Structure 1
Amino acid sequence: MSATRAFARTAPYVVPVLDRAVHRLTGGKVLPSARMLPGVILTATGARSGLPRRTPLACMPQEDGGWLLIGSNFGRPGHPSWTGNLLVHPEAEVNWQGRDIPVRARLLSGAERERAWRDALAFWPPYAAYQARIGRQIRLFRLERR
């Protein structure tokens, strides 16, 4: 279901709103979308506004304690705004399992990106459907604790 165009049309308007509300009401203890995939709340500085922007995101926890974020935008044409924010302001914060953790984001490229993309597809196969229906390359970010 998550690879369908119908999901891509509706999920961006429902999932983040629900995630933010429940996360706030439970003091960071519950993130509904994390029932499907692990998730974080990313707080990044807006590229144009300079204001903090909170975005619930699926993530791939890494063995070293970092995270991989996939800018799929549910397979919609444009890059999600949080990716542009991280390009301009790579220092951010994630809320992971109720704890705020300062991080530094790095856009992956080349062989490192290819390895991460293979891992992402093994982790969540619908990413392949998202990539197949858009003309842009999905951005992958590595978040490292600072």
Structure 2
Amino acid sequence: MSTPGYQAPDLVLVGPEHVRRYRETDGEVGYEWNGVRILLLTTTGRRTGEPRTSALIFAQDGDDYLVVASQGGAPQHPNWYHNLLATPEAEIQVRAERLTVRATTATEAEKPRLWEIVTKVWPNYDTYQSRTRRPIPVVVLSPV
């Protein structure tokens, strides 16, 4: 079924392969994906304590990086979001630059403004929200 305004992404580079290629090339491969910019987010696994890395679309709001816990509109939040709730300190890689960040979830008051920023970058977020009953969080990653 097609949703108006939805653009199916090219999924040639996804998951662990995306992370591996991004790291190996400092983002020469993987920073740009389907016309958007990607960062690598490394969280601490809430059960294992092990580092877990995800390649995520991002937007910026001043010095802050914005990522969206959409999981394509799945009924549950992505694991990386649960990891950030347990341990908000994380690392991001943007091209070759690595930064320590602290994650916060946008409040109800902040979210409309930030949602507008992220949907300008990736309009599919509106489609993802229509696929699920859960409110999709916008996560603010602030450099520390």
Partner of 1:140: 138
CA RMSD of aligned residues (A): 2.4
97 and 33 in structure 1: CA distance in 2 versus 1, 3 angstrom threshold: closer
TM-score by length of 2: 0.85
29 and 117 in structure 1: CA distance in 2 versus 1, 3 angstrom threshold: closer
What is the letter of the counterpart of residue 41 of structure 1? Answer: L
Gaps of 5+ in 2: none
Cα-to-partner distance string for 1:42-92 (whole Å, 9 max, x where unaligned): 011111111111111111022x22200101112222211000011110001
What is the total number of aligned residue pairs between the two structures?
140
TM-score by length of 1: 0.84
Equivalent of residue 94 in structure 2, options 96, 105, 129: 96
List 4+ stretches of structure 1 deviating above 4 A.
none
Task: Check the 8 A contact 1:15/1:33 in 2, yes or no.
Answer: no
Q: Identical aligned pairs, as a percentage?
A: 30
Task: Check the 8 A contact 1:38/1:61 in 2, yes or no.
Answer: no
Per the TM alignment, residue 17 of structure 1 is displaced from its structure 2 partner at its CA by: 2.7
Partner of 1:45: 44
Partner of 1:108: 106
Would you tell me which structure has more helix in proportion to its own residues? 1
Aligned counterparts of 1:97 and 1:14: Cα–Cα separation in 2: 16
Gaps of 5+ in 1: none
Partner of 2:126: 128
